[in-house]
Structure 1
Amino acid sequence: MDEKRSKEPVAFFRILEYESTIMDTAVSLIMDECEFKIPPGAKVLVKPNLVSSKNPLACTHPNVTLAVCRYLKDCGAQITVADSPGYGTAAQVSKAIGMTSGLEKMGLKPKSLGRPVPLKLSFGETIGISRDALETDLIINVPKLKAHGQFLVTGAVKNLFGTVVGFRKAYAHTRFGEHPGLMEKMVIEVNKAMPVWFNLMDAIYPMHVTGPINGKPYAMSLLAGSPNQYAIDTAAYMLLGLSPKKVLLWRECARQKIYGYHPDHINYVIEPPDDFDTTDFIIPDKLSPMEFEPVRFVKGRIKSLLSRFSGK
Structure 2
Amino acid sequence: MYDVFPSGEPIVAIARCSRTTQVAEVLPRVLDAALPGAEGLRTARVLVKPNLVSARPLACTEPLVVAGLCRWLQEQGAVVRVADSPGFGTAQYVARRVGLDAALRPLGLAVEALEAPLPLRLDTGVTFPVARLAQESDLIFSAARVKAHSQMRLTLSVKNCFGCVSGLRKAIIHTRQGQDPAFFAACLAALWAALPPVLGLLDGITAMHVTGPSAGQPYALGLLAASASCVALDEAVYALLGCPVDQVPLAEALARRGEAHCRANGCRPRFPLLTPEEVAVRDFRWPVHLAHTSFRPGRLLKSCLRRIWLSCKN
Shorter-normalised TM range: over 0.9
Aligned to 1:308: 311
Aligned residue for 1:267, secondary structure, equals coil
Residues in 1 aligned to 2:147 and 2:233: alpha-carbon distance in whole angstroms: 14
CA distance in 2, matches of 1:136, 1:126: 19
Once residues 188 and 27 of structure 2 are traced to their aligned partners in structure 1, the CA distance between those partners, rounded to angstroms, is 27
Please show how residues 1-312 of structure 1 align to structure 2 within 5 Å: 6-19=8-21, 22-34=22-34, 35-37=36-38, 38-53=40-55, 55-260=56-261, 265-290=268-293, 292-311=295-314
One-letter amino acid of the structure 2 residue matched with residue 30 of structure 1: V
Per-residue CA distance 1:115-160 (angstroms, 9 max, x = gap): 1011112343211001111111211111111001111111001000
Q: Give the partner amino acid of 1:166.
A: G
Structure 1 pair 164/299, CA: closer, same or farther in 2 (3 Å)?
A: same
Query: TM-score, normalised on structure 2?
Result: 0.91
What's the CA shift string for 1:251-299, capped at 9, x where partnerless? 1111221153679622112112222141111111221124522222122
Note the residue ranges of structure 1 that are not aligned, 5 or more in a row: none
AA of the residue aligned to 2:15: F
**Structure 1: how far apart are the matches of 2:140 and 2:261?**
18
- The code of the aligned residue for 2:25 comes to T
Distance 1:298 1:98, change over 3 A: same
Report if aligned partners of 2:142, 2:158 keep a CA contact under 8 Å in 1.
no
**Normalising to structure 1: TM-score of the pair?**
0.92
CA distance in 1, matches of 2:37, 2:191: 23
Determine if contact 2:124/2:190 at 8 Å carries over to the other structure.
no
Counterparts of 1:284 and 1:264 in 2: how far apart (Å)?
A: 31
Q: In structure 1, what is the Cα distance between the partners aligned to 2:289 and 2:17?
A: 31
Give the distance between the partners of 1:192 and 1:125, measured in 2 at CA: 14
Percent identity, please. Answer: 37
- Higher mean C-alpha displacement, 295-304 vs 43-52: 295-304
Query: Closer, same or farther in 2 for the Cα pair 1:122/1:291, shift >3 Å?
Result: farther
Segment drifting more, 94-103 vs 115-124: 115-124
Larger displacement relative to structure 2 (258-267 or 80-89):
258-267
Question: Residue by residue, what CA displacement relative to the aligned partner does 1:154-178 show, whole Å, maximum 9, x if unpaired?
Answer: 1001000000000011000111122
What is the number of equivalent residue pairs in this alignment? 304
Amino acid of the structure 2 residue aligned with 1:285? V
Change (3 A) 1:36 1:201: farther
- Indicate the RMSD between aligned Cα atoms, in angstroms: 1.8
